[in-house]
Structure 1
Amino acid sequence: MESMKKKLWIFGGAAVVIILLIASTVTREQPVEVVQVELDAIRIWVEDTAYVQAKDEVVVEASQSGRIIKIAVEVGEKVTTGQELLIMENLDMQYQQDELAVQIEQLQGQLASGQIALEQYHLDLEEGQKKLQRDKELFQAGAIAKAEYEASVQKRLSLQKVVQKQEVLLQSLNRQLAQQSALYNDVEKRNQQLVIKSPQTGTILDLPAKKEQAVAAGNELVQIGAEGVLELKAELLSDDMSAVKIGQKVEITAPVLGDQVLHGKVSKIFPRAYEKTSALGVIQRRVPVLISLPENELLKPGYEVQVKIETQSKNNVVVLPRTAVRVNAQGRNEVLVVEAGRIRHVTVQTGLKNQELVEISSGLKAGQTVVRDASTNIKENTRVKIK
């Protein structure tokens, strides 16, 4: 009898334990973190690094070879249009100019003496013409012989040839003088170009040229930026360029700006991509893009900034954190909606996506509650407790 009672107590206790376990399983709520579905804006960005540069930036190059003998400015110095920047010399060109000067002086001397001779020849010809006229009258009057008259005719013809020959000589000397003078002027012009002057008012951004340095034509000497007018130059991956358009809004940030965010616009997209090697050694195709920059005293040419180009945007749409959307076994987008303390799996359609948010184009409405982390394996109708 006592044995029977013990068995009943054992079975009864086990039943109570089982009932309690079942009850605890049924009533246990899984804690979850949720977000409220709201209407908000979503923006799609192309982000990259950009550098500040002068908008009207001029690179002054050497127009010819030479040696730099003087540099009159420093980096950061403000200059005005026409101000002397540096001086070069070209000894070969100076020698050529000196030689041309000597030749021009000789030609001018020959022309001067030739002109004097021509004037004398004209006087002789005039006198010969007068003598011929007198001899003609005397010959017709029978006062002189025919031979004497013919001698006067030949003398006049001879003097005419001398004048013509001298005129041809002077024409040749004038042509030579014009040619040598043109060469001299060209050399003089090139010699004047050895004095490098600023083509615009601005600030010296760079001075790659050094004193006593020998440079060739085309070498960069000075870089000048227009004062106060700055812009940004970014080099974007070619894969991102299909979404980038002129006029798109740009957010600009930099450590030097602190919490300040500047706003610009895409002002120019270059027509071709260039090959560049990244810091990790990866060869990339990048497209230069210019961005307008509002006036700001903190940014200077050469500073690095971060830019976010807004390529797409929507306002007043349903958005969720990207973590709140998952792909189910059927390959559809799905969220975990909390209704009356239980989980309901809801299929949704998505739209725009950025790194943080995703647009829900259908399947949800504002005011609903959704589990923040959809990767959590919570079955349909599971009771949950909001953290």
Structure 2
Amino acid sequence: MTSKKTLWISISAGVAVSAALLWAFAPRPLAVEVARASVGPYEQAVLEDGRTRLRDRYALSAPLTGRLARIALREGDAVEAGAVVATITPALSPMLDERTRREQSARAEAAEAAVRRADAGVQRARVAVEQARTELRRNEQLAQQHFISPAKVDTDRLALEAARMELEAAVQSRQVAGHERDTARAALIAIRTPGSGEGSFALRSPVSGRVLRVAQTSEATVMLGAPLIDIGDTARLEIVAELLTTDALQALPGAPVRIERWGGEGVLEGRVRRVEPAAFTKVSALGIEEQRVNVLIDLVGPPDLWRALGDGYRVGVRIVTLSRSSVLRVPVSAVFPQPGGGMAVFVAKTGRAQLAPVEFGGRNGSEAWVRGGIAEGAEVIVYPAATLRDGMRVKVRAVR
């Protein structure tokens, strides 16, 4: 009896040890984190730093050699168009009188030619506006009859707005050309009567705006062409962003832009006006040569929101390249490429991981657009481990 009892005890102990070993070495469910696939808005954007600059900056220089009176204006002072910003009394050497007169006469003739060229530019811009307006009317009628898509009408509206802005710029250029012509004429008159009070030349502001920089504040003798003062209208700001050429191909004119990290509250609205045709090479902080191109962005929100911005301020821009109002989204960390091609996700269902190939629509920094392959509400595994396989047991880990 004792031997049988000992035998049963030994067998029971062996079974218990075997069961313990099987339990100890049995594969455990892999702990995973999951997120639900949801339907909502989705967008892709290009993020880059930018800087503000004046659309038109006017650098006034000395139109003749002479004695400059002290400039009382300082940076930030407001000036009106036609206001006197500096006064110069000609101081010409007798040996240089004839040569200077000829140079000034040539400058006056060139200024006259610039005015004629600016007049032609204004007329050309007006024709472009009328052409864009006619094209918009025609396409609106065709869109109502369903001959063309509404997107074409939206493009024509943007083209009309761009043509109007070009006309406004052409008118501004005409005003500046007229100012330069008047300046050249006045300088020519001044050098013909040197030394007299009537020969003093008043340098006037071509536009209404603010003083940006005063290069020469004290009274001094200045040479022809010496920089004196910079003036610009701070209400006409634009943003310049240096994008990689591969990203710039997606930033089409008219694309919406969000201006972030500009120093004020909220987010400002903008729109891409132009992508410059010529790129340039820039060395990154890591020493890598990059091909970049300037993208010009207009601020389209109320000016009161960004009145505090000035010339050369740093901002962050988010150029929206793709926007959808309602798509199926999953975290971008849940999507991975398959060895044979295509994209896939792991879906946690009934305690096991199921490999689900998906039709991939795109991705941004946090979300991926899934066109098909899973349903709304599916629990996808985020950051799947390299050891995770189809059909493997998983355990959802609570995320705190």
Scaled by the length of structure 2, the TM-score of the pair is 0.65
Structure 1 residue 304, shift from structure 2 partner:
1.1
Q: Which residue of 1 aligns with 2:350?
A: 340
Structure 1 residue 232, shift from structure 2 partner:
1.6
Secondary structure of 1:323's partner? helix
State the distance in 2 between where 1:205 and 1:19 align.
85
Equivalent residue in structure 2 for 1:243, among 250, 273, 298 = 250
State the distance in 2 between where 1:382 and 1:309 align.
42
Q: Which residue of 1 aligns with 2:259?
A: 252
Once the two structures are superposed, what CA deviation does each residue of 1:26-71 show, in whole Å capped at 9, x if it has no partner?
6954332111011222222122112223334323244455564422
Which amino acid letter does the alignment assign opposite residue 85 of structure 2? L
Which amino acid letter does the alignment assign opposite residue 358 of structure 2? V
Secondary structure of 1:381's partner? coil
* 2:302 paired with 1:298: no
- 45-54 or 336-345, larger mean C-alpha shift: 45-54
Residues 205 and 225, structure 1, Cα contact 8 Å, conserved in 2: yes
Equivalent residue in structure 1 for 2:293, among 287, 293, 318 = 287
Q: Which residue of 1 aligns with 2:84?
A: 84
* CA spacing shift, 1:329–1:8, aligned 2, 3 Å: farther
State the distance in 2 between where 1:53 and 1:382 align.
58
Q: Which residue of 2 aligns with 1:162?
A: none
Structure 2: which 5+ runs fail to align?
Answer: 102-186
* 2:378 paired with 1:374: no
Residues 72 and 84, structure 1, Cα contact 8 Å, conserved in 2: no
Residues 190 and 201, structure 2, Cα contact 8 Å, conserved in 1: no
1:27-106 alignment, distance < 5 Å: 28-64=28-64, 68-88=68-88, 91-92=91-92
Q: Which has the larger radius of gyration?
A: 1
Which amino acid letter does the alignment assign opposite residue 327 of structure 1? P
Residues 89 and 200, structure 2, Cα contact 8 Å, conserved in 1: no
Structure 1: which 5+ runs fail to align?
Answer: 102-182
State the distance in 2 between where 1:383 and 1:337 align.
12
1:191-340 alignment, distance < 5 Å: 195-211=202-218, 217-254=224-261, 256-258=263-265, 260-278=266-284, 282-293=288-299, 294=301, 295=303, 296=305, 297-340=307-350
Once the two structures are superposed, what CA deviation does each residue of 1:129-152 show, in whole Å capped at 9, x if it has no partner?
xxxxxxxxxxxxxxxxxxxxxxxx
Structure 1 residue 94, shift from structure 2 partner:
7.5
* CA spacing shift, 1:30–1:93, aligned 2, 3 Å: same
- Identical amino acids, percent of aligned pairs: 27
* CA spacing shift, 1:269–1:89, aligned 2, 3 Å: farther
State the distance in 2 between where 1:199 and 1:343 align.
72
Secondary structure of 1:267's partner? strand
1:136-147 alignment, distance < 5 Å: none
State the distance in 2 between where 1:17 and 1:196 align.
103
Scaled by the length of structure 1, the TM-score of the pair is 0.67
Secondary structure of 1:40's partner? strand
Q: Which residue of 2 aligns with 1:135?
A: none
State the distance in 2 between where 1:374 and 1:213 align.
74
* CA spacing shift, 1:216–1:40, aligned 2, 3 Å: farther
* CA spacing shift, 1:385–1:344, aligned 2, 3 Å: same
State the distance in 2 between where 1:29 and 1:271 align.
57
Q: Which residue of 2 aligns with 1:352?
A: 362
Structure 1 residue 98, shift from structure 2 partner:
11
